Amino acid sequence: MHKAVKEVRERQALRYRSRRHYEQPVNFSIGDYVLRSRVDEKLHANKLSVTWVGPYRVTGAIEYYFTVEHLVTRTSTNVHPSRLKHYADSSLNVSAELIDHVAPQGTLLAVEALVDHRYNTSMKMFEIKVKWQGLEEVEDSWEPLKSIVEDVPKLMKEYADEAKDGRLHRAMRAILQPKNRKSS
């Protein structure tokens, strides 16, 4: 019996060691172009769904991650290799057309003001009209209340207090309550 137990423990230890020292092979090197995965909660309800953005140029490699450079902003980011996939080798011609394609990816906009709200009956939820900093009025957009409460909670509370709409306040409380329950 002791021999059987010992064999089982040895197999478990071997499995543990093999998992611990797992190395993911990569098919790109410094100078190559890669796509980077990004989880976008606004587009995907599933955290495991990702959007591939890029290409990025690989500029460095350290033990557990690669350094990639954005083609437009020239900002560098450290990324785990499991979040990268090969796009093209270092001979890729980075044309103006490619730069134009990459430029709008990952653009973050700042909220200038919340200008209106409405209840969307088909989606059964409130939407907030957002004025984006640096954009024209024609580019204002209707965003889900949940997103606005999560992204700019203070600004949303100020807007709701000024709007004096009880239904809007109740909808905000319903969004915030699950968070409060978890922390209790």
- Domain that includes residue 39, residue range: 33-102
Prediction pTM value:
0.46
Go through the chain and tell me how many residues it has: 184
Residue 9 inside a domain? The answer is no
Residue 25 inside a domain? The answer is no
For residue 139 the two structure tokens come to: 């580019």
Give me the pLDDT at residue 86, please: 87
For residue 151 the two structure tokens come to: 């992204």
pLDDT (mean) for 13-33: 72
Residue 172 inside a domain? The answer is yes
User: One-letter amino acid identity for 167?
Assistant: R
Give me the pLDDT at residue 60, please: 93
Residue 69 inside a domain? The answer is yes
Residue 184 inside a domain? The answer is no
Cα separation, 34 vs 82, in Å, equals 12
Cα separation, 33 vs 166, in Å, equals 52
If one counts the domains in the chain, the total is: 2
Look-up: residue for tokens 């140029």?
Answer: 57
Residue 32: CB atoms within 10 A of its CB come to 22
Q: Does residue 180 have a pLDDT over 80?
A: no
Residue 38: CB atoms within 10 A of its CB come to 15
| Domain termination residue (choose one: 82, 102, 122) | 102
CATH code where residue 131 lies: 2.40.50.40
pLDDT (mean) for 119-133: 91
Minimum mean pLDDT among 23-32, 36-45, 70-79: which range? 36-45
CATH code where residue 66 lies: 2.30.30
- Residue 115 and residue 98 share a domain: no
pLDDT (mean) for 71-77: 82
pLDDT (mean) for 71-92: 84
Which residue(s) pair with 117 in the sheet? 128
By C-alpha distance, which of 102, 29, 97 is closest to 68? 29
| Domain termination residue (choose one: 102, 120, 146) | 102
